[in-house]
Amino acid sequence: MKNIFALSALFFTLFIQSQTYRFVYKLQYKMDSTEAGYEQLNMVLDINSREVKFYGQNLLEVDSLNNKFGTNNSHTDMSGQIVKRKINTFDHINFIAIKEGYYSFNTTDKLSWVISDETKKVENYTLQKATTQFGGRNWTAWFCKDILFYEGPYKFRGLPGLIFELWDFRKNFIYSLIKSQKLPGIQSTDHFVESNFGNRAIPINEKQKVKLMKDFYNDPFAFERNNFNKSNTNLKININGTEIHTVDELNNQTKNMQEVIRKYNNPIEINKAVRY
């Protein structure tokens, strides 16, 4: 973590409206809570004078390449952690991709922190410990009072300083701050947060979100099934590199996908996991 911040704490108190402060966290997470190994992503926390956004760095990289080369590539963030909120609030707009659709829904996610006297040194920074309960998990955070943003990864905010490290009790999700930047202007995420590379987020509520996820689980290849003509023996459908020629083969693919969905059903807010 050495030299993450080359500027003094005073720098962060001078919040100029035409700037964006970008913090990158390494996220290690378990899609299946019973597995020993981790998946890994870099996640971006953008803070400006109006709002805070949290999203996968892969989205930003694809958008940057599209702008540079005039391409129209897309990427779907499967972390389930794309959110934005107005500055200094717990009111979130959540973004989620389900099948070919892209959706948004609102939540209010207040946190109550217990701040400990325990501190530790990480490189040149003094971090202080805090704990909270959120999303059906117990969490430990280490924050730095010298960095005067009361923010952190995902929906974790409200401590008197920036969160540097964060993990849940079972260590299914581990966040570590690895980089910071000061960027000119308010950085637009319109192509990959508020929309998914051309698909504008459709507003729904949480009940509708659950229904969409259950509908997808019940028939993950509904589009392919609707286009399957039983009387046409020459019809071929490709699913994940496998050619499907019969309804029975399509049903087998459906069962396989349902097994995957059940196996990797470990969202960060485990209390809101869909029960299939």
* Residue pLDDT, tens place only, 44-97: 999 999 999 999 999 999 999 999 999 999 999 989 999 999 999 999 999 999
- CATH 2.50.20 region(s) of the chain? 9-200
CA–CA separation, 173 and 26 (whole Å): 10
Q: Are 88 and 150 in contact (CB under 8 A)?
A: yes
Q: Topology of 9-200 in CATH?
A: outer membrane lipoprotein receptor (LolB), chain A (2.50.20)
Centre a 10 Å sphere on the Cβ of residue 186 and count the other Cβ atoms it contains: 15
Report the sign of the C-alpha dihedral through residues 197, 198, 199, 202, in that order.
Answer: positive
This prediction's pTM: 0.92
Residue 115 CB contacts under 8 Å (≥ 6 apart), including other chains = 128, 129, 130, 159, 160
User: In this predicted model, what pLDDT tens digit does every residue of 144-155 receive, in sequence order?
Assistant: 999 989 999 999
Which one, of 232, 146, 153, 175, lies nearest residue 27 by Cα?
175
Which one, of 89, 86, 85, 83, lies nearest residue 104 by Cα?
83
Cα→Cα distances 168→18, 157, 275, Å: 35, 15, 21
pLDDT of residue 148: 87
Q: Are 166 and 157 in contact (CB under 8 A)?
A: no
